[in-house]
């Protein structure tokens, strides 16, 4: 087996010496040589070699600081330091920084066969364990980190981060979800969830070099929704204590503790959220569908590119408050930003979120369209245990099938309502006619007309569509029965209505 080595040294005379030793051993090959720390970081990000052989004079930062920075970015990387000092002090300092060993100048064949082979084999074993597909129960699973940044203030960055974290928590992951507030100057995640936190991210600064899951657990707040929250510092001036190195170390430990880690990076760039954007598995840039916000998203991703933090193509612009009546639609948005647009947009239904946001009940959102949008965003980011299935109808999108089904059910229901209203009008009109005809018949009898004459007169006076009137003489009152047609399907009989009017005593 041949291990790929990234050689980092500013001394060109060392190149042939190392290459000759590697050729003699047959187990190593120099995949790339770099002469600056910036080039080293870029190569590690692109190539992910098994081993980095780092010369102590690479500069400009101290060699041990470079080692720490590399391991913050790639914890599975094996780094061996080339030093003139091979004493116990140097070895101890290098091991504390995370290096797998120290070799002294001039590098010997024995060093290559022992220290370098051991370090490279360690890196390979760790990576194999993490990617263990044959026995996933024994694998050391790493959760996914999703960073959410805002193109400008007011885009809804915190809302998106919170709702995506809640959607991930509802999927029932075995190790849960953590929401980290890296909007260090104006973080409101804790307030958003209506909680009062007694610890925050700044409490981890002093123990960052010896960070463990237990120390992080002590500053987390567990919300009733299942989301665990790591708040931003309550005092904004403490934000400067949280460096990129601290942020990367905290997130590195969190991804070993949780299935999903969602980071609210806010809309103000800081050293800490740059570290989060750099190591995140997915980055969402939240923008509203207007030109100013989209230009802000473009500037933000271009700045990340200039700082060699993340390339624009590796970010997704997420449109928040999208509506078909907006002037800026996704087609136009794609021409403004360099990064791809997220497949899902968030509908403009903030009124459904306003009460929950202002009362600290962020987890209570009863709008199905919003909930579906956030669930799809979480699924696209790989945060859900099982991706929501989108049913297909005859090979097409299920949206059309659902709409067709809704239309098919709505039309008969509306027709039935109309028929019921029409039937009610007919019955009401029939009752009025029966009452009027009963009074007419009783008045005729009082004036001496026979019941037969009144029956003919009432029948002639009935509106068209009503059946023949039937009169009954009860002595002190005359009863009239009329019928009205039915319009309801399945009912063939007419509806009979009865009314009566009294006859004055002594008039017969």
Q: What is the 3-state secondary structure (H, E, C) of 342-386?
A: CCCCCECCCHHHHHHHHCCCCCCCCCHHHHHHHHHHHHHCCCCCC
Q: 463, 436 in Cβ contact below 8 A?
A: no
Nearest in space to 147 (alpha carbons), one of 302, 254, 39: 254
Helix axes 244-257, 271-279, angle to 10 degrees: 40
What gap in Å lies between CA 143 and CA 256, rounded to an integer? 6
Q: Tens digits of per-residue pLDDT, 461-504?
A: 888 777 677 888 888 888 888 888 887 776 667 788 888 888 87
Residues of the chain with pLDDT > 70: what percent? 88
Give the bridge partners for 230, in sequence order.
Answer: 180
Residues of the chain with pLDDT > 90: what percent? 13
Nearest in space to 348 (alpha carbons), one of 296, 288, 399: 288
Torsion of CA 40, 205, 267, 304, to 10 degrees: 0
pLDDT at 374 over 50: yes
pLDDT at 302 over 50: yes
Distance of CA 120 to CAs 53, 74, 100, 125, Å?
10, 14, 9, 9
Provide mean pLDDT across the span 53-63: 82
Query: In whole numbers, what is the pLDDT of the chain averaged over residues?
Result: 81
Report residue 339 as tokens.
Answer: 């990064």
Q: For 78, list phi and psi in degrees, rounded to 5.
A: -100, 125
Q: 365, 371 in Cβ contact below 8 A?
A: yes
Q: How many helices (H) and strands (E) does the chain have?
A: 17, 17
Report residue 196 as tokens.
Answer: 């009062």
């Amino acid at each position: 087996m041949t291990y790929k080595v990234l050689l980092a040294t500013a001394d060109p005379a060392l190149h042939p010496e190392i290459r000759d030793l590697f050729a003699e051993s047959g187990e190593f090959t120099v995949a790339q040589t770099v002469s600056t720390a910036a080039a080293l970081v870029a190569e590690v990000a692109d190539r992910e070699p098994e081993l980095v052989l780092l010369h102590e004079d690479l500069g400009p930062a101290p060699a041990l600081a470079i080692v720490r920075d590399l391991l913050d970015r790639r914890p599975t990387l094996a780094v061996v330091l080339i030093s003139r000092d091979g004493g116990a002090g140097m070895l101890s300092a290098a091991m504390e920084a995370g290096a797998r060993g120290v070799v002294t100048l001039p590098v010997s064949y024995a060093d290559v066969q022992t220290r370098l082979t051991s370090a490279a084999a360690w890196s390979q074993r760790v990576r194999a364990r993490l990617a263990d597909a044959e026995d996933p129960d024994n694998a050391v699973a790493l959760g996914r980190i999703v960073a959410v940044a805002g193109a400008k203030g007011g885009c809804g960055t915190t809302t998106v981060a919170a709702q995506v974290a809640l959607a991930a928590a509802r999927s029932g992951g075995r190790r849960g979800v953590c929401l980290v507030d890296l909007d260090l100057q104006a973080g409101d995640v804790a307030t958003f969830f209506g909680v009062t936190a007694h610890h925050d991210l700044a409490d981890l600064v002093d123990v960052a070099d010896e960070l463990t899951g237990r120390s992080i657990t002590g500053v987390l707040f567990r919300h009733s929704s299942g989301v665990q929250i790591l708040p931003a510092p309550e005092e904004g001036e403490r934000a400067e204590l949280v460096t990129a190195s601290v942020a990367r170390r905290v997130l590195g430990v969190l991804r070993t503790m949780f299935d999903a880690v969602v980071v609210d990076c806010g809309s103000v760039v800081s050293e800490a959220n740059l570290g989060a954007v750099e190591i995140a598995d997915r980055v969402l840039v939240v923008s509203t569908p207007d030109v100013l916000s989209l230009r802000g998203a473009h500037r933000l991703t271009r700045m990340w590119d200039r700082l060699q933090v993340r390339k624009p193509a590796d970010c997704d612009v997420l449109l928040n408050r999208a509506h078909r009546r907006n002037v800026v639609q996704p087609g136009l948005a794609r021409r403004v930003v360099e990064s791809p647009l997220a497949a899902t947009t968030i509908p403009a239904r903030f009124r459904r979120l306003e009460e929950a946001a202002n009362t600290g009940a962020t987890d209570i959102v009863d709008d199905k369209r919003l909930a579906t949008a956030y669930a799809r965003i979480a699924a696209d980011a790989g945060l859900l245990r099982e991706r929501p299935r989108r049913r297909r109808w005859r090979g097409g999108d299920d949206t059309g099938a659902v709409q067709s089904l809704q239309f098919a059910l709505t039309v008969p229901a509306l027709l039935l309502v109309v028929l019921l209203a029409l039937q009610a009008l007919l019955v009401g009109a029939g009752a009025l006619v029966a009452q009027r005809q009963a009074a007419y018949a009783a008045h005729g009898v009082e004036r001496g007309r026979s019941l037969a004459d009144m029956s003919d007169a009432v029948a002639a006076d009935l509106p068209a569509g009503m059946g023949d009137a039937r009169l009954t003489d009860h002595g002190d009152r005359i009863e009239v029965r009329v019928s009205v047609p039915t319009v309801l399907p399945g009912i063939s009989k007419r509806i009979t209505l009865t009314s009566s009017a009294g006859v004055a005593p002594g008039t017969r």
